[in-house]
Structure 1
Amino acid sequence: MSIPTALIGIASLSCLMSVAVLGSLFHAQIPGIRHWCLASGVLAAVTALLLLFQRSPSIILGASALLVVASLSALQGFRRFFHLRASLSGEYLAVGAILAGLVYWTYLSPDIDARVVIISAFLGYVRFVIAWLVQRHRPAGRPRYGYYFVSGVALLGAFVHVIRCAVYGLGLAHETDFLEATPVNVAFLGMATLTLPCLSVGMVMLAHDRLAQRMERLATIDDLTGVFGRRAFIARAEALLGSAKGAKSPLSIALLDIDNFKSINDRHGHAAGDQALANVAATISREIRQADVLGRVGGEEFALLLPRTGKEDALRLVDRLRAIVASAVSEGPAACVACTLSAGVDEFRACDTLASAMARADAALYAAKAKGRNCVVPAGAEQGKWIEPVETAVLNRR
């Protein structure tokens, strides 16, 4: 068995293994997985055809065409993975031109070097685009290793194919047989065989990261409202409190509760109650500043952290939110439900823990409920310690 034949056999086995691994991820419904699996399956068929029918021009032509299609399918998989548009029309035109060239240089004017040039040029383009896509659209805040691995392998494969295209295009090497055991052919096939399974491993790494991202989101984000859940909010609040103490900058907290929420469920049903929660959370999320942190800490209770904000400014900001929620138009099952908020606000003190500040804000929230609801009360006001009135007019939107 010649070295090129052995390399093709190794590539065939690696493609079959990739199909098995990627196929096991179908249930996760990750965009792009099916395209990657299809590409690996087609490549397995390509290598099998080359092994079984090494001397048949028609089989080699078909295998070459399938190789181009498989590469485009892999690229499309990466685009779908990053939620991008489908392949460009120019790419389909290029595939058509390549197929025409393969027919011409197989039957009308047989030339293996020319076929190598056009296929290598296209494969180099595909690998370059994959490397660029992975780096350009790598999600912020995610571990970088898998994305750097994929882009690095794709870039290495691109250089291999571009160099191969140049070597044969400039006449620096010639082939009379696709699997001829020349040093140049062995070197290029060896590099291609090395990068192919590595790219498949990279695909699995990206799929795993997407699954991990989903699990982390389930653990941190409240599914109904789309804001932080209680545990994630507390973790974020502790971190912000530590930063605020270190920088000696003000930090305020507000606890907000939807008024008469139980009656919404009783009168309109739980679907309307869920929609009311989602609507209120969406309204608050739209209006708060980028640095502010919103979390759902109870059934109908939200907590809001306001970095670099003193008590008076926090009162005005929260009262603005209260007024906006009261005037908001609900959607969905809660379209007929008018929601109002009661809130308690306090500023962290130098000796405060998160629990102590939240306890004071919670007491102020209860005072707001006792006051008649749909109002904002600062901590201390329930004991007569706060005399400055809260601004209740709806301020202009930022």
Structure 2
Amino acid sequence: MPNLDFMTLYVVIFLTSLTVAIVWGAFTLRYKKQIAPRYWLAACLLSLVGGIVLAIQGNAGSLAPAVIGNSIIVYSFMQFWVGLRRFSERGGGQAHAVAVTAVALCLMVLFHDNDRARSMVYAGGQASVMLLCSVTLLRMRPLGIGGAVAGGGFLIALFGQLAVIGGNAGVMTGALPYDRFYTLASYALMCTIFTASIWNLGFAVMLIEKLQDELARLSETDDLTGLGNRRAFTRRLAEVHRHASAAGEPYAVMMADMNGFKQLNDTHGHAAGDRALVEVARIMKSCARRSDVVTRIGGDEFCLILPATGERDAQRVLQTIRQRIDAYRFRVGDGELALAAAIGVAEWAPQSELGAAAVVAAADRKLYEQKADPAKARVVGKQQHLRAVSVAEADH
């Protein structure tokens, strides 16, 4: 196996760090609300500086440039970990970065007359950072493709640094000739350089995945109420229907429509109408269980999907929503306004061959039956294992 010149590798560190720093600089300028890229940019810039300082020592390995340059590299690697914490919306980390760097610096100074011990300290400092980053990535949920790529890069680099520590120990005990260790160390450094490109690529993919998730969330969120919108309703209904069909369990769909909403807008203005929509959304959300899906599918129409829910439980939720809406008052000018809503519920039974659209249609039909005759009491219609329940039924 041919030897690699360390001076050349230090230049490669400089050029690689510069290249990746340009990428993170572009990310930082383009996505200013994202904090993590700033730390990853700082890590690359510090690695660049560290590469320059290490190049000063040459192949002879002068003490001061070696200690200072390696300390800068350790601190720069800690910034990758701090950036990961920011990516996960966690604070702190800088105190740990300073502490790890300070310990490495002090130990390298302490072993100033022992090249092998200094090398082990330097490799140990890098290995500790790689271990921290690997553990942080493995704890992320979901990990994603980017996280897996970055984690793989850190783990490969970690094994490389552990090999350097073992090689130094072998030289110190006489079990490994120095020329073989030199070759091992040079290839371990090259491994770290290129795996750094891998984990930075993984970070970039992680950031892209995060931005895509945020875009998808925004595309399924109603701006006014913060509930899911029609897109979210359609997607989640399909998911619930597939799960219910596979598990052989029922589910219910609840459709709600505010009574007299147009008159409210025309009489008191759209600001009052918006307030009413927000309050109805808040009430429905507060009445829903954690597994339920509350959405505003348009105008004054709301929909609640209740997974693993039969007729009796659906009626209980329906009654709670109705009571809270009926009891709510909000001030408009010098007076108070009461809210009212028509609500229809349909239950899908495991024996049914009908699709999710039929459940929604049944709930919608019961809603409009009630709007046409608010005084209607206990009307239950069955159609191929679909049970429709009006708001009035919840009173009985």
CA contact (8 A) 1:11 1:196 kept: no
- Alpha-carbon offset, residue 230 of structure 1: 0.8
The number of aligned residues is 374
CA contact (8 A) 1:50 1:60 kept: yes
Q: Which residue of 1 aligns with 2:126?
A: 123
Letter in 2 for 1:233: F
Q: Distance in 2 between matches of 1:154 and 1:223?
A: 40
RMSD of equivalent CA atoms: 3.6
CA contact (8 A) 1:36 1:77 kept: yes
CA contact (8 A) 2:18 2:44 kept: yes
CA contact (8 A) 2:344 2:391 kept: no
CA contact (8 A) 1:293 1:305 kept: yes
Q: Distance in 2 between matches of 1:206 and 1:387?
A: 47
Unaligned segments of structure 2, at least 5 residues: 175-179, 383-387
- Alpha-carbon offset, residue 318 of structure 1: 1.3
Q: Which residue of 2 aligns with 1:84?
A: 90
Aligned pair in 2 of structure 1 residues 274, 102: CA closer, same or farther (>3 Å)?
Answer: farther
Aligned pair in 2 of structure 1 residues 259, 49: CA closer, same or farther (>3 Å)?
Answer: farther
Q: Which residue of 2 aligns with 1:304?
A: 304
Q: Distance in 2 between matches of 1:88 and 1:41?
A: 17
Q: Distance in 1 between matches of 2:330 and 2:100?
A: 51
Structure 1 length normalisation: TM-score?
0.80
Which of the pair is proportionally richer in strand?
A: 2
Aligned pair in 2 of structure 1 residues 113, 269: CA closer, same or farther (>3 Å)?
Answer: farther
Residue 96 (1) aligns with residue 102 (2): yes
Aligned pair in 2 of structure 1 residues 93, 339: CA closer, same or farther (>3 Å)?
Answer: farther
Residue 138 (1) aligns with residue 144 (2): no
- Alpha-carbon offset, residue 70 of structure 1: 0.7
The more displaced of 309-318 and 49-58 is 49-58
- Alpha-carbon offset, residue 366 of structure 1: 2.6
Q: Which residue of 2 aligns with 1:167?
A: 167
Q: Pick from 68, 73, 77: which aligns with 1:71?
A: 77
Aligned pair in 2 of structure 1 residues 181, 120: CA closer, same or farther (>3 Å)?
Answer: closer
Q: Secondary structure at the match of 2:289?
A: coil
CA contact (8 A) 1:253 1:304 kept: yes
Kindly provide the CA deviation profile for residues 248-274 of structure 1, in whole angstroms up to 9, marking residues without a partner as x: 433321101234444555566655544
Q: Which residue of 1 aligns with 2:255?
A: 255
Residue 357 (1) aligns with residue 359 (2): yes
Q: Secondary structure at the match of 1:344?
A: strand
- Alpha-carbon offset, residue 82 of structure 1: 0.7
Letter in 2 for 1:303: C
Q: Give the fraction of aligned pairs with identical amino acids, expressed as a percent.
A: 25
Aligned pair in 2 of structure 1 residues 147, 388: CA closer, same or farther (>3 Å)?
Answer: closer
Q: Distance in 1 between matches of 2:52 and 2:94?
A: 30
Q: Distance in 2 between matches of 1:166 and 1:279?
A: 65
Q: Distance in 2 between matches of 1:330 and 1:148?
A: 51
CA contact (8 A) 1:368 1:376 kept: no
Q: Distance in 2 between matches of 1:32 and 1:146?
A: 14
Q: Which residue of 2 aligns with 1:227?
A: 227
Q: Secondary structure at the match of 1:391?
A: helix
CA contact (8 A) 2:17 2:47 kept: yes
Q: Which residue of 2 aligns with 1:295?
A: 295
Q: Distance in 2 between matches of 1:387 and 1:219?
A: 32
CA contact (8 A) 1:315 1:378 kept: no
Q: Secondary structure at the match of 1:290?
A: coil
The more displaced of 77-86 and 235-244 is 235-244
CA contact (8 A) 1:345 1:364 kept: yes
Q: Which residue of 1 aligns with 2:10?
A: 8
Structure 2 length normalisation: TM-score?
0.80
CA contact (8 A) 1:319 1:376 kept: no
Aligned pair in 2 of structure 1 residues 17, 224: CA closer, same or farther (>3 Å)?
Answer: farther
Residue 41 (1) aligns with residue 45 (2): yes
CA contact (8 A) 2:345 2:389 kept: no
- Alpha-carbon offset, residue 79 of structure 1: 0.5
Q: Distance in 2 between matches of 1:279 and 1:270?
A: 14
CA contact (8 A) 1:344 1:377 kept: no
CA contact (8 A) 1:258 1:300 kept: yes
CA contact (8 A) 2:4 2:183 kept: no
Letter in 2 for 1:158: L
Q: Which residue of 1 aligns with 2:385?
A: none
Q: Which residue of 1 aligns with 2:193?
A: 193
Alignment map for 1:211-360 (pairs within 5 Å): 211-262=211-262, 265=265, 270=270, 273-327=273-327, 339-348=339-348, 350-360=352-362
Aligned pair in 2 of structure 1 residues 271, 85: CA closer, same or farther (>3 Å)?
Answer: farther
CA contact (8 A) 1:173 1:184 kept: no
CA contact (8 A) 2:346 2:389 kept: no
Q: Distance in 1 between matches of 2:337 and 2:14?
A: 62
- Alpha-carbon offset, residue 320 of structure 1: 1.3
Kindly provide the CA deviation profile for residues 253-300 of structure 1, in whole angstroms up to 9, marking residues without a partner as x: 110123444455556665554454344334423432333222221122
